[in-house]
Amino acid sequence: MSLTSPEVSAFADRVTAYLQRLERATDALLPPASTHPERLHHALRYACEGGKHLRALMVYAAGETLGVPAEQLDPAACAVELIHAYSLVHDDLPGMDNDDLRRGRPTVHKAFDEATAILVGDALQTFAFEALVNASALNAEQKVRMIRSLAHASGSLGMVGGQAVDMASENLTLTVAQLESLHARKTGALILVTCQLAGIAANAPEAVEIALERYGKCIGLAFQIQDDVLDQIADTATLGKTAGKDLAQNKSTFPSLMGLEQARQRADALFDEARDAARSLPGNAEPLLWLADHIQQRNH
């Protein structure tokens, strides 16, 4: 079955195949664990294991809606997951969140050591851009546009800047607008760029780019609100990471500022807006609608 035949079956039936594509692309890019220096390469692969791969699925879902063949989406799917994995490894370090548990197992600095975890993050970041440079199914202009978008989303005006603001905001009570702005960068930028990368692969016109961005922004913020809610209500075993961290670190969260029920309602409204944006796209919106439902129903 072709991965790009939405009329044949629902996106849910193609998720396993997409995740296999992602695994193959990542496996081909990263050196085997036996490559010198072995400890680094072993840790590099360890950092990429587990995870829900929602960002990769967003690339595939948005690309499928726009009719892009899967081989043109693999490099972007791989690249966003590598940036995401690096951000989690660095976020867990003692100098940042100081966490022992990630994806249900010891964090990279616990399973290996702190210096290795720093280097793993550094190397994952450079491999992400290598994935885009190597993309043989994309033309040179598409590659440059993808590299620019991913660099912008992950750098100091995106994810890294959001992390800096987040750390500086500990023990402060933010306004909801300040919290939204922080998360638009820290978590939202990388989620948004998944849609932008799919748009670049599709050579999408501006109107389509705008609708894709609306979908990506709504999903990004809804995802973070949900993350705050889950941190408060779920247990460590379900989350696969330490529950209740936000309260322990005295961080402003959506439930702490608006109350649990209102935070949930805000997330639900954003998921609805994302679905509206998906329906406004040309093509079959089913993959993006499925993904919005899938993320909305997550428990970890």
Give the footprint of ligand GRG on this chain (CB under 6 A): 51-52, 54, 84, 87-88, 90-91, 96, 103, 159-160, 163, 186-187, 224, 227
User: How is residue 3 written in tokens?
Assistant: 């991965």
Q: How far is the CB of 9 from ligand GRG (least distance, A)?
A: 25
Q: How far is the CB of 127 from ligand GRG (least distance, A)?
A: 16
CA 247 to the chain's CA centroid: 23
User: How is residue 30 written in tokens?
Assistant: 């990263």
Q: How far is the CB of 208 from ligand GRG (least distance, A)?
A: 25
Q: How far is the CB of 187 from ligand GRG (least distance, A)?
A: 4
Residue nearest to ligand GRG (CB): 51
Q: Which is nearer to ligand GRG, 197 or 202 (CB)?
A: 197
Q: Which is nearer to ligand GRG, 65 or 224 (CB)?
A: 224
Helix 114-133 / helix 140-154 crossing angle, nearest 10 deg: 150
Q: Which is nearer to ligand GRG, 118 or 137 (CB)?
A: 118
Q: How far is the CB of 165 from ligand GRG (least distance, A)?
A: 11
Q: Which is nearer to ligand GRG, 145 or 186 (CB)?
A: 186
Q: Which is nearer to ligand GRG, 227 or 273 (CB)?
A: 227
Give the span between the Cα atoms of 10 and 139, in whole angstroms: 30
